A and B are shown apart, each in its own frame.
Chain A
Amino acid sequence: MTVRLGDLALTRSGDKGNHVNLAVVAYSRENYDFLVDRLTEGLIAEYFADCRPTQVVRYLLPRVWSLNFLLYNALDGGASRSLRLDSQGKLFGVTAAELCLTGHHAFKSQEPDR
């Protein structure tokens, strides 16, 4: 059974110079634990391989059920030098949501709207 990352967590990207930070905010504790286990640096590096990051580092914030990935040099020179329309990596957050993960658990997906 596969599940989209976007069904387990909210994702958002930002830039720091030539690097991208990808925030993954899980919608539940169960989702967070699953992502800690499965959403590895290797998986993110492979999904974004065409951007040729020189390194991918993962940080954890368990109190807020979140993971923060740093994708070093994943931009085409950053906002100041990129030749691409998305010079600041704004799209990484939404494309990351389409990353598919395999797993066996039943997940709590998007929180119901209030």
Chain B
Amino acid sequence: MSSARTLRIGNGAGFLGDQLEAPSQLVADGGLDVLTLEYLAELTLSILASQRRQHPELGYARDFLTVLDDLAPQWVASRGPRIVTNAGGVHVGAAVRAAAEILRGQPGGEQCRVASVEGDDLTDRIDELLAAGCELAHQDTGQPLQELQKSGQPVVSAHAYLGADGIAEACRQEADIVITGRVADASLTVGPALAHFGWSSDDWDVLAGASVAGHLIECGAQVTGGYSVRWQDVELTAIGYPIAELNADGTCVITKPETSDGRVDRLSVVEQLLYEIGDPSCYLTPDVSVDMTTVEVTEMARNRVQVRSARGQPPPDSFKVSLAYADGYTASAQLLVAGRESIRKAERCAELIFARLGRQGLQFARQAHELLGTGRGLPGRPPLPEADPPELILRLAVQDPRREAVQQFTRQIAPLVTSGPAGIAGYAVARSPVRPVFAFWPTTIPREFVTPRITVRSAKEWGEQKLG
């Protein structure tokens, strides 16, 4: 059943690792219809995939369970806002079951309806897709995926960015919590809006407006005064997380909880509008191609900014795919260098470390070092001081296909304390870990190869499912 009533959507997480306190701030403020929680940056899925390989019951954003556990008593009792999240990561089923278990722990919680939206995971389908003629070529270089496979760099994870349709369907089936895997960030907002307003999925201009609203709130505090050069003008301590008040005509007002810190104004909204976009006249999502150049941003009142006039075109025929492949191992190490000629001393330390490794016959596929505090490695050409700084951080990093080689690199740092120059500190920290590299391979896949799968059940019913 559709409605013309304004839909209030708050985003309580901009990434996995964001403030765990943010969602309760939004819910406590009251009046939210939807709470979104965005957990999947470019790399997150490959990290979760690696986690699942070591621990088969994991692979989802556990932050979400912490948040749900915290919210559950009030949320169940007062029938709080619908929650829409991509916390499912690479193991949506496990996230759903864990969420259902938390709900069953609350009086009345077992009736809450939890939806899973799947179909994004292509990891086990790569061979099938290649055989069907999908090249999965690298978006920038055009290199076909098969070349990777020949060079022994296996695909670790591959996920299509699904759109709003699956989420909208789950909302229509009255899910109280919708848990997805990889979806386009803005689709977390467009999905519930589609269901609420009863828009048709080819109403391009309103979809564009909803996508803009989603894009503005998807990074959490970045639209309410965070990550800004104006950091001195805004109180950031209890920064408010954003709320989009979305209207049936696709316009919205961006605001935040009234008693929170931070600030929503024309500049904070415009700087988030432009964040991580390419050509603004065709910002592509799975749901719509948005023209942001027609967007108007107007301050209506303190901390209330209206956004309107986005225009939409049909979306591309393909879904974007985030694919990660194994690309060896990496480690980094840091040392504090102080005293006269700090720059020359730091360079000498880097020289010593790599020369000693060279004497063991170790060269690395890639290596780098930075002198942090000198400004020399900064992007661009900001003005730099003439003299050596009194102290700086020497940071070194390597990447190589061989784990043991990278391990040897980490072992060559501490010996400098007795066999290197004086005026170096920072050896007392633990030896740096060696971690696997999951390199990003951006590609696309024709829509016909991907179908979202929606399952909506009560928390009670999820508990009764046998694991297959």
By a beta-carbon cutoff of 8 Å, the part of chain A in contact with chain B is 6, 10-12, 14-21, 23, 25, 47-48, 50-51, 59-66, 68, 70, 72-74, 76-81, 83-86, 89, 91-99, 110-111, 113
Complex CA–CA separation, A89 to B379 (angstroms) = 8
Cβ A91 vs Cβ B379 within 8 A: yes
Across the interface, B230 reaches (CB within 8 A) one of A10, A89, A99, namely A10
Complex CA–CA separation, A60 to B281 (angstroms) = 9
Cβ A95 vs Cβ B368 within 8 A: no
A81 to chain B, nearest CB (A): 5
Cβ A95 vs Cβ B378 within 8 A: yes
Cβ B274 vs Cβ A68 within 8 A: yes
| Residues of chain B in range 260-285 having any CB-CB distance to chain A below 8 Å | 267, 270-271, 273-281
Which residues of chain A are near B440, meaning CB under 8 Å?
17, 78-81
Which residues of chain B are near A18, meaning CB under 8 Å?
140
Cβ A85 vs Cβ B395 within 8 A: yes
B437 to chain A, nearest CB (A): 6
Which residues of chain B are near A65, meaning CB under 8 Å?
270
Closest-by-CB residue of B relative to A13 is B379
Cβ A25 vs Cβ B271 within 8 A: yes
Q: Which 9 A-B pairs have the closest CB atoms?
A: A23-B274, A14-B276, A98-B382, A95-B380, A83-B397, A80-B440, A83-B368, A95-B382, A64-B270
Across the interface, B380 reaches (CB within 8 A) one of A14, A16, A60, A99, namely A99
> Residue B294 at the A interface, CB < 8 A?
yes
Q: A16-B278, A47-B380, A61-B292 are in contact. Are A79 and B42 (CB under 8 A)?
A: yes
Q: A23-B271, A47-B380, A66-B270 are in contact. Are A83 and B277 (CB under 8 A)?
A: no
Closest-by-CB residue of A relative to B442 is A17
Cβ A25 vs Cβ B368 within 8 A: no
| Residues of chain B in range 26-45 having any CB-CB distance to chain A below 8 Å | 41-43
Which residues of chain B are near A23, meaning CB under 8 Å?
271, 274-275
A110 to chain B, nearest CB (A): 8
Q: A51-B379, A83-B367 are in contact. Are A25 and B42 (CB under 8 A)?
A: no
Closest-by-CB residue of B relative to A63 is B296
Closest-by-CB residue of B relative to A18 is B140
Complex CA–CA separation, A111 to B228 (angstroms) = 14
Cβ A61 vs Cβ B274 within 8 A: yes
Which residues of chain B are near A113, meaning CB under 8 Å?
233
Q: Chain B, 291-304, contact with A by CB distance < 8 Å: what is the 0/1 string? A: 01111110000000
Q: Do most interface residues of chain B lie in helix, strand or loop, or is the interface mixed?
A: mixed
Cβ A21 vs Cβ B43 within 8 A: no
> Residue B372 at the A interface, CB < 8 A?
yes
Instruction: Write 8 A-B pairs (CB below 8 A) sorted by A numbering.
Output: A48-B380, A80-B324, A80-B438, A83-B366, A85-B395, A92-B379, A95-B380, A95-B382
> Residue B433 at the A interface, CB < 8 A?
no
Cβ A83 vs Cβ B330 within 8 A: yes
> Residue B56 at the A interface, CB < 8 A?
no
Complex CA–CA separation, A56 to B19 (angstroms) = 35
Cβ A12 vs Cβ B278 within 8 A: no
A54 to chain B, nearest CB (A): 9
Cβ A59 vs Cβ B280 within 8 A: yes
Q: A25-B270, A113-B233 are in contact. Are A84 and B370 (CB under 8 A)?
A: yes
> Residue B398 at the A interface, CB < 8 A?
yes
Which residues of chain A are near B377, meaning CB under 8 Å?
84
Complex CA–CA separation, A20 to B140 (angstroms) = 14
Closest-by-CB residue of A relative to B330 is A83
Which residues of chain A are near B324, meaning CB under 8 Å?
80
Cβ A61 vs Cβ B271 within 8 A: no
Closest-by-CB residue of B relative to A113 is B233
Across the interface, A12 reaches (CB within 8 A) one of B41, B227, B383, namely B227
Which residues of chain A are near B233, meaning CB under 8 Å?
113
Cβ B42 vs Cβ A17 within 8 A: yes
Which residues of chain B are near A50, meaning CB under 8 Å?
379-381
Q: A84-B368, A89-B379 are in contact. List 16 more A-B contacts (CB 8 A).
A: A10-B228, A12-B228, A21-B277, A21-B278, A23-B271, A47-B380, A59-B278, A61-B280, A62-B293, A63-B293, A63-B297, A70-B278, A76-B368, A84-B370, A95-B378, A98-B381
Across the interface, B276 reaches (CB within 8 A) one of A10, A21, A110, namely A21
Across the interface, A25 reaches (CB within 8 A) one of B267, B438, B442, namely B267
A43 to chain B, nearest CB (A): 11
Which residues of chain A are near B229, meaning CB under 8 Å?
6, 10-12, 93-94, 97
> Residue B444 at the A interface, CB < 8 A?
no
B367 to chain A, nearest CB (A): 7
Cβ B267 vs Cβ A81 within 8 A: no
Cβ A64 vs Cβ B297 within 8 A: yes
Complex CA–CA separation, A91 to B397 (angstroms) = 19
Closest-by-CB residue of A relative to B232 is A113
Q: A10-B267, A47-B381, A96-B380 are in contact. Are A83 and B332 (CB under 8 A)?
A: yes
B328 to chain A, nearest CB (A): 10
B444 to chain A, nearest CB (A): 13
> Residue B336 at the A interface, CB < 8 A?
no
Which residues of chain A are near B277, meaning CB under 8 Å?
21, 68
Complex CA–CA separation, A41 to B181 (angstroms) = 38
A31 to chain B, nearest CB (A): 13
A4 to chain B, nearest CB (A): 10
Cβ A21 vs Cβ B274 within 8 A: yes
